[in-house]
């Protein structure tokens, strides 16, 4: 009986010494895995790279033609504010599937410029509304780059009143809205094509309002007012 006890005691003592002894030692050998299928599971996580797909991404892009939640499939339905009684191609829900200037901002291999439909007061109002909803959070209500997200640390937000952006073609800005640029995410999945143009039309007005216009662009009577001010 006592003998068994001593054998056990010796065994426990050796076990304790061995366990404490190897603590903190580095080993080049791979760690012992009790459940290898839990350590390495046959699944991919969002944003993981993958050698399986040709584009190297594990996450798959949405199927072409995917429509954001809450929107219907493209169909004949007027977009409020942009078109009224019209049978034009702009007259339907459109997130941009075409390859023309209207849908991409490109003309051939180049950026085009100009709003590809008539800009009315209604377009501008729609643009202002869409700008306030989608852009002001970062770029600020006047486009000065001082929106709420900037104040909360998104430091790369830019002012939209830089000379570079004043002279940038509408098509390139359209592309920035659609696909994003560097640290700005694309809004192509939530801002419809005519709305992107409406935003650009409004953005141009913003730029003019913030020092981007010269006196010669004013109507004569406004210019006269300006000159008569002491």
Kindly state whether residue 152 participates in binding ligand HEC, applying the rule CB under 6 A: no
What six digits make up the tokens of 189?
């999945």
Can you tell me the distance from the alpha carbon of 93 to that of 77, in angstroms, rounded to the nearest whole number? 6
Kindly state whether residue 139 participates in binding ligand HEC, applying the rule CB under 6 A: yes
What six digits make up the tokens of 218?
């004013």
Q: Find residue 76's DSSP bridge partners.
A: 92
Q: Find residue 208's DSSP bridge partners.
A: none
Residues 6+ apart with CB under 8 A from 72: 93
Residues 6+ apart with CB under 8 A from 96: 103, 104, 178, 188, 192, 193
From 10-18, 66-74, 102-110, 154-162, span contacting ligand HEC (CB under 6 A) = 154-162
Kindly state whether residue 201 participates in binding ligand HEC, applying the rule CB under 6 A: no
From 45-53, 76-84, 102-110, 153-161, span contacting ligand HEC (CB under 6 A) = 153-161
Site string for ligand HEC, 108-137 (x = CB under 6 A): --------------------------xx-x
Closest distance of CB 176 from ligand HEC, Å: 5
Kindly state whether residue 183 participates in binding ligand HEC, applying the rule CB under 6 A: yes
Kindly state whether residue 190 participates in binding ligand HEC, applying the rule CB under 6 A: no
6 three-class SS = helix
From 8-16, 58-66, 148-156, 208-216, span contacting ligand HEC (CB under 6 A) = 148-156
């Amino acid at each position: 009986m006592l003998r068994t006890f001593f054998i056990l005691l010796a065994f426990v003592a050796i076990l304790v010494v061995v366990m404490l002894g190897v603590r903190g030692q580095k080993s080049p050998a791979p760690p012992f895995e009790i459940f290898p299928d839990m350590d390495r599971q046959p699944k991919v996580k969002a944003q993981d790279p993958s050698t399986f797909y040709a584009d190297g991404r594990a996450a798959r892009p949405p199927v072409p033609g995917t429509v954001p939640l809450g929107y219907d499939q493209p169909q004949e339905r007027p977009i409020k504010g942009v078109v009224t009684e019209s049978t034009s191609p702009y007259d339907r829900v459109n997130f941009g599937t075409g390859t023309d200037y209207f849908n991409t901002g490109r003309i051939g291999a180049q950026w085009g410029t100009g709003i590809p439909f008539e800009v009315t007061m209604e377009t501008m109002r729609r643009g202002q509304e869409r700008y306030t909803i989608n852009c002001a959070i970062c770029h600020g209500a006047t486009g000065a780059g001082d929106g709420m997200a900037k104040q909360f640390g998104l430091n790369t937000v830019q002012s939209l009143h830089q000379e570079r952006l004043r002279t940038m073609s509408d098509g390139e800005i359209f592309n920035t809205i659609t696909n994003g640029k560097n640290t700005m995410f694309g809004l192509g999945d939530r801002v419809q094509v005519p709305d992107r143009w409406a935003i650009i039309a409004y953005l141009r007005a913003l730029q003019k309002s913030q020092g981007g216009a010269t006196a010669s662009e004013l109507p004569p009577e406004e210019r006269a007012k300006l000159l008569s001010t002491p």
